[in-house]
Amino acid sequence: MISIRFNSSDNEFAKQIRKITGYSPRNLKVYKLAFTHKTVANRSENTKFREDNERLEFLGDAILDLVVAELLFFKFPLKDEGFLTEMRSKMVSREKLGKLSEKIGLQNLIHFDITVGARKDILYTLGGNALEALVGAFYLDHGYKKTVRFIKKKIIEAHLDLKELEESEISYKGKLFEYAQKNKKVVTFQTLREFKKAKSNFFEIQLLIDNEPIASETNHSKKKAEEIVCEKAWKKLFAEQS
């Protein structure tokens, strides 16, 4: 085992990692990297390699998907693949991971350029990414078996109600944004028109992916129109791929 000497700041950081994961960190550097956003990352002059949390996020995302899939497979032995896929989407959606990161205190550990913004949706995205990166860092530090225990005990059992998730409706907006982020695509909404009908306001909303129109929807609620147009877009995208 490698012995690491911490300074007072490192000691406090190590205590926070232990509180969050249930294990003392052995390689503190990899955890620091897990909370380093690309806006404040160091870049090598020779290789142009950027020291940020995106590689750890990639690793943690894959591990989290595997652990959740395995848990659901044995938890629901009589459910089909569609149910299991939908449950996994609910558990590891970008919105859910962002909320979980806030609950366990990750957002206070992230190093990022404040000019990126402090809106709640941005903080949720940064937090969700950091949670995945933390899983990746923990795996490198402690191995797969302890990572499974950390995810099950400190994330799933502590903060997720599987029965409640089973009964909740899936958000196509959340699924679409998760798909877009993983595939480096940009989702935008455009208000094509706003009009009155029977003394009520109506909105025609168009959804674009990488500036390409995908679907549109008209509704008296802009939020509802966005959710419906996301469902249309999701079904259209994956109908074309099947």
**pLDDT per residue as tens digits for the range 22-79:** 999 999 999 999 999 888 766 655 545 568 888 999 999 999 999 999 999 999 999 8
End-to-end CA gap in the chain: 49
- Residue 140 pLDDT greater than 90, yes or no: yes
| Angle (CA) 70 76 80, round 5° | 95
At 6 the pLDDT is 39
Question: What pLDDT does 2 receive?
Answer: 31
Q: What whole-number distance in Å separates Cα of residue 27 and Cα of residue 5?
A: 10
Query: Encoding tokens for residue 55?
Result: 């590689």
Structural domains of the chain ordered from first start: 8-170 (1.10.1520.10), 176-241 (3.30.160.20)
pLDDT over 70, % of the chain:
86
Q: How far apart are CA 205 and CA 229, in angstroms?
A: 8
pLDDT surpassing 60 at residue 3:
no
pLDDT of the residue at 240: 57
* pLDDT average, residue stretch 208-213: 94
The type of residue at 114 is I
Catalytic positions, written as ranges: 61, 132
